[in-house]
Amino acid sequence: MYKTCRLKVITRVYLKIQITFDSYQTNNTVMFGQLQEDTKIIFTYSLMHVFVISSVREWSQSIYFCRPNNNIIYSYTAMSYNDNDRPISPLQSDCCGDGCNPCIFDVHRELVEKWKQRQSSNQMWSPRSNILLLTKYKTFFISEMKQACTDCIFIRLNYKGGLESDTQLFLNPGQHVILRTLLSSRPYTPVSWKIDSILLLVKIYPDGKFSKSLGTMNIGQHIDVRGPYGEFIYEPNSFGQILMLSIGTGIAALYPIARSIIDDEFEESRVHLIAGFKSHAHIPLIDELCELSHYWNFSCTIRLSNKDCEKRMNGVKLESGRIEEETVAGFLTSQSPVSTLVLICGTPEFNNTITGWLANLEFTNFHVFQ
């Protein structure tokens, strides 16, 4: 049975929420989500993070986000459920033995520990039902493959099973999943997703057995997926300036975060992306970056080791050379360490170098995507 929750923003902090149940309805004005009776709203001030939890019975929830003029701009389904069930134990065959991070058995142990803590404290936590599971692989099939740049391809994976009315695929921007084929398993960060599919940016390494095997697969072939993993969650308007630094396919983790910020019409943070690539031919997501650059709160600079003077990207600044300390310091010296967040994704060497520069500049608000 579905209940409709209509949210109307009346200030930047308060919401007016009306929830209709079978036998009664309750209206209340809330700050970040407290309703009386038997229902609790968890609201993180982001259009993509609203959950409804019922402490009485299992039910699903269709949520509509409205502009002040009541035009619907987002709609999705959430589900709450009883937390009495212990997390599903993975099969021995679910472990590939290749040292995945995180290992499926480590994830299960952490989930069981959290479940025990909730049981002992009598807490309820019920996010919507996600197609993806942390401790169990789900079967997807390749629905699309296309060239992203010289050495990368886009692969779209669609869920093979049927969608229930109260389920959908969901990730927090920047999270990654584990792919498993007959050969092995590897982590990848989706650059975008829909309710039943994910789009992956895959770099084909000359000596990479797994990536090369993905590149030779055909439309319709199956790939197992589990996840999502990654603890980073961006809180809207928590920082005035956000500096994103990446090289190569590290942009896959940062692009969806930038996209989610730009898509939020209540977001006032400014995003500055500095990405490094070998050449113009090695840049993926060209159209997407040019599109974001049309917005007032997004700017993009791409540093190219081999710059072609004839190449242009509308709205994007192209510069010669690698990402240097002077580049990062030039931006950060005019910013406040308190109100600036730095997001980093690249090779281990790149990540370590950037964090060293940040330490010298005394910027402590940063996150590294490993």
Q: Mean pLDDT across the stretch 9-17?
A: 32
- The string of pLDDT tens digits covering residues 77-89 is 333 334 456 667 7
Q: Residue 64 — very low, low, confident or very high, per pLDDT cuts 50/70/90?
A: very low
Q: What CA–CA distance (Å, rounded) separates 197 from 140?
A: 8
Q: Residue 222 — very low, low, confident or very high, per pLDDT cuts 50/70/90?
A: very high
Sheet (strand 2-9) strand order: 25-31, 14-20, 2-9, 59-66, 72-80
The domain spanning residue 147 has which CATH number? 2.40.30.10
Q: Mean pLDDT across the stretch 23-34?
A: 32
State whether 194 and 116 are in the same domain: yes
Look at residue 345 and tell me if it is in a domain.
Answer: yes
Q: What is the mean pLDDT of the chain?
A: 77
Name the residue range of residue 25's domain: 2-80
Q: What CA–CA distance (Å, rounded) separates 123 from 115?
A: 10
Q: Residue 20 — very low, low, confident or very high, per pLDDT cuts 50/70/90?
A: very low
State whether 103 and 182 are in the same domain: yes
Question: Is there a contact between 338 and 320 (Cβ–Cβ < 8 Å)?
Answer: no
pLDDT of 239 reads: 97
State whether 279 and 357 are in the same domain: yes
Look at residue 86 and tell me if it is in a domain.
Answer: no
Residues 6 or more apart whose Cβ sits within 8 Å of residue 177? 132, 171, 187, 188, 189, 190, 198, 225, 226, 227, 228, 229
Q: Residue 183 — very low, low, confident or very high, per pLDDT cuts 50/70/90?
A: confident
Look at residue 85 and tell me if it is in a domain.
Answer: no
Look at residue 87 and tell me if it is in a domain.
Answer: no
Out of 22-36, 38-52, 107-121, 350-364, the most confident range is 350-364
Look at residue 278 and tell me if it is in a domain.
Answer: yes
The domain spanning residue 283 has which CATH number? 3.40.50.80
- The string of pLDDT tens digits covering residues 307-364 is 877 789 999 999 999 999 999 999 999 999 999 999 999 999 999 999 999 999 999 9
Q: Mean pLDDT across the stretch 221-247?
A: 96
- Can you name the residues that pair with 243 across neighbouring β-strands? 272, 342
**Number of domains making up the chain:** 3
State whether 273 and 147 are in the same domain: no
Look at residue 351 and tell me if it is in a domain.
Answer: yes
Q: Tell which of 52, 80, 108 closes a domain.
A: 80
Q: Mean pLDDT across the stretch 289-298?
A: 96
Question: Is there a contact between 61 and 80 (Cβ–Cβ < 8 Å)?
Answer: yes
**Quick one: angle between helices 325-332 and 348-361, nearest 10?**
40
State whether 224 and 138 are in the same domain: yes
State whether 111 and 62 are in the same domain: no
Q: Retrieve residue 78's tokens.
A: 């959430």
Q: Is the predicted pLDDT of residue 17 greater than 50, yes or no?
A: no
Question: What is the share, in percent, of the chain residues with pLDDT greater than 70?
Answer: 69
- The string of pLDDT tens digits covering residues 253-281 is 999 999 999 999 999 999 999 999 999 99
State whether 289 and 169 are in the same domain: no
State whether 225 and 96 are in the same domain: yes
